[in-house]
Structure 1
Amino acid sequence: MARFDSSPGKADSPDSAKPASAGKSAEKRKRSRIVAGAGITAVVAAAVLIPLSLGSPTPAPPAASSPAQSAPALAPAEVGPPVTYYKQPGPPAGSPLEKVEPLKVDVSSDLVGTSLNKGTMGISLEATDLADPDLSSDNASLVKLLKELDQPVLRFGGNAVDRRFFWTSTGEAVPADYKGDETHPVKAVGPADLTRLKTLLEAGDAKVTLTVDLGHYNPARAADMVKNASQILGDRLLSVTVGNEPNGFVFNDVKTGSGYSLEQYIRELKDYANAIYAVAPNVPISGPGTFDSKWWQPFVDADIPQKKILTFHHYPLSDCDGKVPQDSPTMANLVSRTMHDRAAEYQNAALAVGRAAGLETWIPETGVSACPGSNETSRTHASALWAADYALTAAQLGITRVSLHSSLLTCKGGPPLSAVCSAGAYPYGNGKMSGRANFFGLSMVAGLEAGKFMKLNSSGGGLAFSYALQNADGSTSVVIVNENDPEKAAQTFVTLNLPGKPVTGTMTQLSGPSYSAEDQTVIDGAKTEPKPLAKRATVPGFAYKSQTQQFKLTAGTVTVLNFKY
């Protein structure tokens, strides 16, 4: 499997990415009261809702822009503040408006048995990025991004760690056998870099997982790094991994001369683990961090003294030369039910190994594709839809950490699949970081309340995926990832059956004009995290104390609904 290297040598050229290209009900339903809401749209003070014709015998509530009618006077005790309904974007002008089968979602009070916790979402970077002075609390733009992921994990590893990363706590010179070039320089990292990193972690309320160099066999040096990291970072250090993707060492010029094998990896893993345990016994070892499932069980079975965490890397569309069409990074593959189902199958395979051993399972490095340079999925709104659905699928199955592999290099010229990038001139820019479309997909998931996944049944809706969470306050959050084509598909009529009778229903939404749109993904109309729950607008047509809610959703969106009872 090919690997996405977020170093400058894998950058794309600016021109290399190309875009993919019945009758109305006569009855009016009266509301007994007006429910308060807040948000970004115009106030609608109506208490009478007029059904919409949807080509279906089931009447639908009005869109947010429907004209209001006067309601019968209510007693003062029944009148609340004006309702602000969420105003989502409609399909682009001139769209064919292909009809989408209505979506029906029945949420059960029964639980799946897994949870979504704060800190599930994260960003993966190259180990050499530890030397970058921009990893500091002084970098307000990076602090902001971390806060938008709500207690994320920063993971440092990537291809660089076994090639161009040199740890030293004494300031010694980099040995001659560490090879780099102008666009892939060798970087020395020491305790001062970890001290600076800690300021960023504290300012952004983040944690970290590190990778030590296995390409240059040196257990003592790795142990010294972990000892310093444990002392400096404290409980913000979650784990350490020995080597990055050791299953690929024989293919990518790390240990070609020795014919590196799984058996050799296990022997070296034990050497590293024992050396680390002697100086930092409380730091767990996570691994094997491979893209080959054959390495999972041997890692789990390895006799090492530390607590272990099973990790694997996953880039679903990484057939870079087109030999396996279903694995090629094309838009058709990205926005497909097959993509969703195959990801869940692979995640479940890893979870089965981890659960049998009583281990947590993480995905510390993932992305749409590991292919270098641009392809038609790069930087696109479709990647935001994928990121949200991929992360929610993983969390619902039981995976507790998911990190998108990224780079601190520039937005223009840097790795096109990176979730974050820097403004300024290539390659290192000015350190002013911003999120790309896939980052905002993660942000939608990170903005959810911590909760327990609820069982549900869904049918219809075309290319749509639904999730539900029982929150600590008893409310229900429902997420609908509507992957239907935003340029062609009509809005989807949704019938949502809840386990209770809500008194409020609010909404936030990620949207974009097309699958291929670049730098146009927004949340609630802006390039930022979802609005706080208390400031969100009311679900259009919200029915007070009704277990059945009906509304429309625009295609190409991720919508988070919250209902309080």
Structure 2
Amino acid sequence: MTVAGRRWVVHRLAAAAIAASLFGGCSALTPTPPATVPPTPAEPSATPSPDPWAELEDFAPGLRPAGTPVDTSSGEPAGAKTITIELGAGDDPPGTFRRTSVGLSFEASDLADPRWEPGSSSLETLVKALRKPSLRFGGNSVDRRVWWTSRGEPAPEWAEVTIGPDDMARLGRFADATDATVTMALPLGHFDPDRAADMAKYARRALGERLVAVAIGNEPNGFRLESQPQYRIRGRGWSPEKWVDEARKYEQAIHNQVPDLPLAGPGAYDARWLRAFADAELTNTRALTQHWYPLWSCPGRKGDTDADAAPSVDNLASPDLPDRTSSTLGVGAEIARDNDLPFWIEEIGPTSCPGTGETSRTGAQALWTVEIALQAAGLGADRLNLHSSLASCRGGPPMSVVCGADGSVDNDPRVVGRSNYLALLFAGQVRAGELVPVRVSGSERVRAYATRSRSGVDVVVIAMDESSARYAVRWRGDKDLKVSQISRLDSGGLAARDTARLTLLGPTRDSPTRLSGGTATLIRFDVVD
């Protein structure tokens, strides 16, 4: 739905700037003014376009017009390194790439934002373009700053944002308009099972079957961190066992209100808490959920440090990071399999360190976003949500996938996508299906993933290297496939900010025989009749 040529009368948000999600004692979405800001899109034309992507171009800087050709030149450029991409070779991945493998996570405080109303801003356009995505609401705010009421009681002093039934109803309309499914964390930080159950009741009433599960709190393993006293909301002796005791009281209250509502959890980043949740066997347990930020070792942080987990472009682009990812997320995936539960990654991002860091809004972050969506699916994750915020692009969380185009919702309700939004849009083009083996030889900087559907095979090749790198590509694989379409995400350089460019799927007759560093390429192979 076009938003052009109109101004909306909206209520100014009551929330303070959104704080981040915890990982290892760092806050990932703490607002800090970025060094530069993505270009603010021009006001789009009020005349609707027959091209469904044309309107999206107004809100996703770097999205190239549909039909832009992708270079598939043949020949080996001077100095190119030869790589071989072999379909059907290597270990068989266990997972399936789904529409819910591309999703967004938001702070619960964002539920107060009027831009969730369909037609009120470009947020609907951005989310709908991800094609039946998963949405999740939680973050630090749900336990520390959000007050739920369906009866209009005054908020306590600690609360910064009040949400109620009208906010849930608005979200329900948004989910219908975008064909999204939703998961939601309920407040646990200020212990009140009946209030959380009341919130769950109104969430189910508004969202129906689109609400696939609720969680009891967000990252309970972060309720008492020695390195982050400002986030402490539990006393000494807080443990997985004590959390389970509280969760059982919440489970009883929730199911007294909504007997069939599924539960997911624990939304933690510590294996002890994942095992405790699985062992608890709460009624109607729907999935095991894990959070992860690979670059968690923040500068100046008290406690343990890890040079390989420092927030640098080199670490984000390191050939070792996929192995670290498999090791960490593989723990959650294994616990889920052992307990016959689906595995969800409900909150993830490249780094949990606050403010604008070396990796913020970079080309490396965009390419990492593409890879994590596919790698997580290969590890068995059915849902994946990149943590985001609706705060302003100017001064808001620089890691966020989307951001407000201006500092005031009253002045400009538009929401725009950053480079990592283009990465999600790129990944959202991949056909859903089982991941199939694909092997790359010749460079540790080039990795590939493939999915198979009835129509054929989609292959994504990620060249996590500097833009100056050149690769000559040799293909081996299924003789019953032919190339039909190609799409490319060009990062503009691993360390460059806000320079990613996305060319959407378009027709081609040739497999690419040369690639440049700093790109992700989607090659669609159809079955030969």
Please confirm whether the aligned pair reaches a TM-score higher than 0.5, indicating the same fold.
Answer: yes
- For the residues of structure 2 that align with 1:357 and 1:14, how far apart are their CA atoms? 43
State the partner residue of 2:25: 2
1:149 aligns with 2:111: no
CA contact (8 A) 1:124 1:403 kept: yes
1:275 aligns with 2:253: yes
State the partner residue of 1:221: 195
How much does 1:148 deviate?
2.0
- For the residues of structure 2 that align with 1:144 and 1:193, how far apart are their CA atoms? 19
1:551 aligns with 2:529: no
How much does 1:40 deviate?
2.5
**What SS does the corresponding residue of 1:12 show, helix, strand or coil?**
coil
1:512 aligns with 2:512: no
1:202 aligns with 2:171: no
State the partner residue of 1:13: 33
Alignment of 1:92-171 (within 5 A): 99-107=80-88, 112-171=93-152
CA contact (8 A) 2:134 2:182 kept: yes
**What SS does the corresponding residue of 2:128 show, helix, strand or coil?**
helix
**What SS does the corresponding residue of 1:364 show, helix, strand or coil?**
strand
Count, aligned residues:
468
What is the aligned counterpart of 1:537 among 499, 507, 513?
507
Letter of the 1:499 partner, please give it: D
Alignment of 1:75-90 (within 5 A): none
| Shift in alpha-carbon separation, 1:495–1:235, aligned structure 2, 3 A | same
What is the aligned counterpart of 1:230 among 182, 190, 204?
204
Give the unaligned 5+ runs of structure 1: 18-37, 56-97, 180-185, 525-529, 543-548
State the partner residue of 2:7: none
CA contact (8 A) 1:380 1:517 kept: yes
**What SS does the corresponding residue of 1:400 show, helix, strand or coil?**
strand
| Shift in alpha-carbon separation, 1:466–1:353, aligned structure 2, 3 A | same
| Shift in alpha-carbon separation, 1:333–1:281, aligned structure 2, 3 A | same
Identity value in percent = 35
State the partner residue of 1:356: 338
**What SS does the corresponding residue of 1:137 show, helix, strand or coil?**
coil
CA contact (8 A) 2:391 2:403 kept: yes
CA contact (8 A) 1:109 1:499 kept: no
1:52 aligns with 2:75: yes
| Shift in alpha-carbon separation, 1:522–1:428, aligned structure 2, 3 A | farther
CA contact (8 A) 1:111 1:452 kept: no
CA contact (8 A) 2:366 2:491 kept: no
- For the residues of structure 2 that align with 1:489 and 1:242, how far apart are their CA atoms? 47
**What SS does the corresponding residue of 2:199 show, helix, strand or coil?**
helix
Letter of the 1:445 partner, please give it: A
How much does 1:227 deviate?
1.1
- For the residues of structure 2 that align with 1:43 and 1:556, how far apart are their CA atoms? 15
Give the unaligned 5+ runs of structure 2: 1-23, 38-65
CA deviations 1:362-401 (Å, max 9, x no partner) are: 1111101010001110011110100111111010121111
State the partner residue of 1:260: 238
How much does 1:329 deviate?
0.2
CA deviations 1:119-172 (Å, max 9, x no partner) are: 221111111111111111023411111122111111111111111111111111
| Shift in alpha-carbon separation, 1:114–1:43, aligned structure 2, 3 A | closer
What is the aligned counterpart of 1:496 among 475, 483, 489?
475
- For the residues of structure 1 that align with 2:210 and 2:337, how far apart are their CA atoms? 25
How much does 1:4 deviate?
3.1
- For the residues of structure 2 that align with 1:265 and 1:560, how far apart are their CA atoms? 44
State the partner residue of 1:41: 69
1:404 aligns with 2:375: no
Alignment of 1:467-486 (within 5 A): 467-473=449-455, 475-486=456-467
CA contact (8 A) 1:4 1:369 kept: no
| Shift in alpha-carbon separation, 1:43–1:261, aligned structure 2, 3 A | closer
| Shift in alpha-carbon separation, 1:42–1:402, aligned structure 2, 3 A | closer
CA contact (8 A) 1:362 1:399 kept: yes
CA deviations 1:455-486 (Å, max 9, x no partner) are: 2222113401111111122x111110111111
| Shift in alpha-carbon separation, 1:427–1:319, aligned structure 2, 3 A | farther
| Shift in alpha-carbon separation, 1:554–1:368, aligned structure 2, 3 A | same
> What's the C-alpha RMSD, in Å, of the aligned pairs?
2.4
Letter of the 1:318 partner, please give it: W
CA deviations 1:289-336 (Å, max 9, x no partner) are: 112111111100114212231111100001112632111000110111
| Shift in alpha-carbon separation, 1:54–1:407, aligned structure 2, 3 A | closer
CA deviations 1:216-257 (Å, max 9, x no partner) are: 111111111111111221011011011111111112434244
1:337 aligns with 2:365: no
